Amino acid sequence: MSMNIGAAARASGISAKMIRYYESIGLISPDRLANGYRCYEARDVHLLSFIRTTRALGFSIEQVRSLLALWQDRSRSSADVKALASGHLDVLRERVRATQTIIATLEHLSAACHGDLRPDCPILDGLTGGPRHDGQIALPARAT
């Protein structure tokens, strides 16, 4: 059963705009009718659902491209898939560590602030690299 982009969007949970984007970067290539309209089949919806799931798990477009190639290659080694997923896990764990550092810093700065009518504010001091009231908290150079 073939469908138009609107039906494919509803069936896959991906907006028509994103489907067009995925087509423009070569992740999908639906058939075209004689009039130029896209024609989606069940296999296309399945592919779009795969893409939606990988993106929801935080994989980059290039990682999705690699996963698609591995998924479609029946002679692949599962070790290749696991290596890609493991590398992504490492990146996610590092992001969690960086986020935890940011949370701890903001919690400390917020706790140091009296939140009253006085103009001095340890939060702003900390954000601007100004005086620190305890000498211990340094903001991370950059969260990735």
**Looking at residue 141, what is its pLDDT?**
53
- Report the DSSP pairing between strands 38-39 and 31-32: antiparallel
**Looking at residue 130, what is its pLDDT?**
59
Integer-rounded Cα radius of gyration of the chain:
24
pTM, to two decimals:
0.75
Burial call 77-101: b when 16+ CB within 10 Å, e when fewer: eeeeeeeeeeebeeeeeeeeeeeee
**Looking at residue 144, what is its pLDDT?**
47
**Looking at residue 136, what is its pLDDT?**
52
**Looking at residue 132, what is its pLDDT?**
52
**Looking at residue 119, what is its pLDDT?**
85
How many other β-carbons are positioned within 10 Å of the β-carbon of residue 47? 21
Q: How far is CA 34 from CA 31, 43, 85, in A?
A: 10, 20, 40
pLDDT tens for each residue of the chain, 144 residues long: 789 999 999 999 999 999 999 999 999 999 988 898 889 999 999 999 999 999 999 999 999 999 999 999 999 999 999 999 999 999 999 999 999 998 998 898 899 888 888 888 888 888 887 555 555 555 545 544
How many other β-carbons are positioned within 10 Å of the β-carbon of residue 108? 18
Residue 66: partners with Cβ closer than 8 Å, 6 or more residues away:
84
Please state the φ and ψ torsions of residue 38, each to the nearest 5 degrees: -70, 145
